[in-house]
């Protein structure tokens, strides 16, 4: 305990300091109620996110560009949290979580390559990763095909994953296998990083927060792959993310075979059924699950403080705040009313209970 306190005193203080810069209830209220896109941006400029926004009077405010600019705040927090941690294994866990954004940028790169576009044409879609990303981006942008990218990244989990997915990419002639491989490799790395943690308390705390997170993603992926992409249950199971806590492969298999929402709900573990029992539309799962997850995070912050779970919880909470903000930004850009928007946001963001 004393050792853990010594190890996590500084990172914990750092995280609590960073957490104090979250949007306040008042911020969320005024952002929700903003009458149009420009007043939304005007208010956003007064929040801690104002720092990463461009000069709104001088520059074009394209929602796509703003989304990535807002993400800079999260990327900076990743760098700060990583720097605050002393142990290499703890840092690796944060970096594994961060690799999801690297994976997103790699996907953009692959799509650009596939469609014959240059970096300039897609730069607005890239996450501003900053110095935390150690991937050789300039060299990657100079590659001519996925095999070259895989070779360049061969010492990185991404390289290995891409290499294994290239036969399917060649067979199917589309990027889907490569993109899936990138996503799966991030979570495989995350799973390994959790097992690599030295202290049992850390491993437990990391699983406690990341396990449900992976479960949520798996549920949402099952829905997306099943409903939107029309994939078979065999494929859905194979594309599921490793490292979940409640949803075993057999649960996922049953969920993938479910034919409607009620049978889908029936196939869920009991603890999850309580959280999403009210859902009537596929689209609503997202909001309910996020609400549940944010509650888990909040609970973690009032528990024992000296473990890696605090850092991970903060980063995921911040990511969800950002996701909520971006949802709101898009809604305002499309001119949706607060009532139409509220359904898309977790309760902690909208202040309206769904459950």
Partner 1 sequence: MFRPVKLTRLTIQAPEDRISAVMAVLGDLRLLHLIRVEETHLGHLGYVAHIDTSLLEHYDSLLARANRLLRDLGPAGPSPGIRKVPQPDKAVFRLEEDLAHIETEALRPLEQKKKAKNAISEHEALIARLQLLEPAKIDLDRLHDLRYVTWRAGLIPEENLNKLEQSLVGTHHTLIPVGRKEQRVVLMAMSLKKDEKALLRALKSAFWDPLELPPGIHGTIGTALDQLSAELENLKTGLAGLDTEGAELTRKHGARLKYLREEILLARQLLKAQAKFGQIDHTYLLTGWIPVALFEELKKRILKATSGKVLVERVDPKDIKEVRSGILKIPILFNNPMLVRPFERLTTLYGTPSYEELEPTVFLAVSFLLLFGMMFGDVGHGAILCGIGYYVFRKMYRYIDYGIILMECGVSSMIFGLLYGSVFGLEDLIPALWMHPMAEINHFMVMSAFLGIGIISLGLILNLINVIRQHRYGELLSTSGLAGALLYWLGVGLVARYLLSGGLSPLEVIFAKVAAGALIILMILQRPVRAVLAQRRTGEKWRHLPPGLGGTILESFIEVLDDLLRYLANTVSFVRVAAFALTHAGLFIAVFSLADMVQNVHGQGFFYWITIILGNIVIIALEGIVVSIQTLRLEYYEFFSKFFRGGGKPFQPLLEEKL
Note the residues at the interface with partner 1 (CB under 8 A): 160-161, 164-165, 167-168, 171-172, 177, 181, 188, 231-240, 242, 249-250, 252-253
Q: Between the CA of residue 129 and those of 158, 192, 205, 337, what are the distances in Å?
A: 16, 22, 26, 33
| Angle 189-77-217 from CA coordinates, rounded to 5° | 45
Closest separation in Å from C-beta 183 to partner 1: 12
Closest CA relative to residue 133, chosen from 112, 149, 153, 119: 153
Span between the terminal Cα atoms of the chain, in Å: 37
Closest separation in Å from C-beta 157 to partner 1: 11
The Cα–Cα gap between 146 and 82 comes to 30
Instruction: State which residue, 123 or 232, has the beta carbon closest to partner 1.
Output: 232
152: left (phi over 0), alpha (psi -120 to 50) or beta: alpha
Q: Which residues contact 316 (CB under 8 A, 6 or more apart)?
A: 97, 209, 213, 293, 297
Instruction: State which residue, 41 or 241, has the beta carbon closest to partner 1.
Output: 241
Closest separation in Å from C-beta 93 to partner 1: 18
CB burial of residue 177 (10 Å; 0-12, 13-18, 19+): buried
Closest separation in Å from C-beta 188 to partner 1: 6
Closest separation in Å from C-beta 179 to partner 1: 12
Query: Do residues 182 and 107 touch, judged by C-beta distance below 8 A?
Result: yes
Closest separation in Å from C-beta 147 to partner 1: 13
Instruction: State which residue, 250 or 263, has the beta carbon closest to partner 1.
Output: 250
Closest separation in Å from C-beta 145 to partner 1: 17
Instruction: State which residue, 165 or 347, has the beta carbon closest to partner 1.
Output: 165
Instruction: State which residue, 222 or 296, has the beta carbon closest to partner 1.
Output: 222
Dig out the tokens for 354 from the structure: 């769904």
Dig out the tokens for 88 from the structure: 């290499």
Instruction: State which residue, 6 or 249, has the beta carbon closest to partner 1.
Output: 249
CB burial of residue 97 (10 Å; 0-12, 13-18, 19+): buried
Q: Between the CA of residue 221 and those of 18, 176, 250, 286, 329, what are the distances in Å?
A: 31, 14, 15, 10, 24
Instruction: State which residue, 81 or 237, has the beta carbon closest to partner 1.
Output: 237
Closest CA relative to residue 143, chosen from 114, 123, 120: 114
Closest separation in Å from C-beta 208 to partner 1: 23
Instruction: State which residue, 109 or 231, has the beta carbon closest to partner 1.
Output: 231
């Amino acid at each position: 305990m004393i050792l853990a306190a010594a190890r996590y005193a500084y990172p914990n203080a750092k995280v609590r300091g960073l957490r104090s810069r979250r949007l306040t209830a008042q911020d969320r209220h005024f952002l929700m109620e903003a009458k149009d896109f420009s007043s939304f941006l005007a208010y956003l400029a007064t929040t801690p996110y104002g720092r990463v926004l461009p000069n709104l009077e001088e520059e074009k405010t394209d929602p796509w560009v703003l989304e990535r600019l807002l993400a800079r705040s999260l990327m900076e927090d990743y760098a700060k949290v990583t720097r605050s941690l002393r142990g290499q294994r703890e840092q690796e866990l944060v970096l594994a979580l961060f690799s999801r954004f690297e994976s997103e940028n790699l996907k953009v790169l692959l799509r650009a390559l596939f469609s014959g576009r240059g970096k300039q044409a897609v730069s607005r879609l890239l996450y501003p990763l900053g110095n935390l990303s150690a991937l050789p981006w300039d060299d990657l942008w100079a590659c001519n095909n996925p095999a070259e990218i895989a070779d360049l990244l061969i010492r990185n989990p991404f390289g290995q994953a891409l290499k294994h997915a290239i036969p399917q990419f060649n067979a199917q002639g589309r990027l889907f296998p490569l993109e899936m491989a990138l996503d799966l490799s991030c979570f495989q790395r995350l799973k390994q990083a959790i097992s690599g943690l030295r202290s049992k308390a850390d491993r437990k705390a990391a699983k406690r927060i990341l396990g449900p997170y992976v479960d949520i993603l798996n549920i949402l992926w099952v829905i997306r792959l099943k409903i939107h992409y029309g994939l078979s249950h065999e494929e859905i199971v194979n594309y599921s993310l490793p490292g979940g806590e409640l949803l075993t492969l057999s649960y996922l298999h049953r969920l993938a075979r479910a034919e409607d929402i009620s049978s889908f709900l029936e196939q869920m573990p009991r603890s999850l059924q309580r959280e999403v029992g009210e859902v009537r539309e596929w689209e609503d799962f997202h909001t309910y699950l996020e609400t549940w997850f944010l509650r888990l995070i909040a609970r973690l912050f009032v528990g024992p403080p000296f473990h890696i779970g605090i850092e991970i919880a903060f980063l995921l909470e911040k990511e969800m705040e950002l996701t909520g903000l971006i949802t709101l930004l898009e809604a305002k850009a499309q001119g949706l009313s607060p009532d139409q928007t509220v359904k898309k946001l977790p309760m902690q963001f909208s202040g309206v209970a769904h459950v």
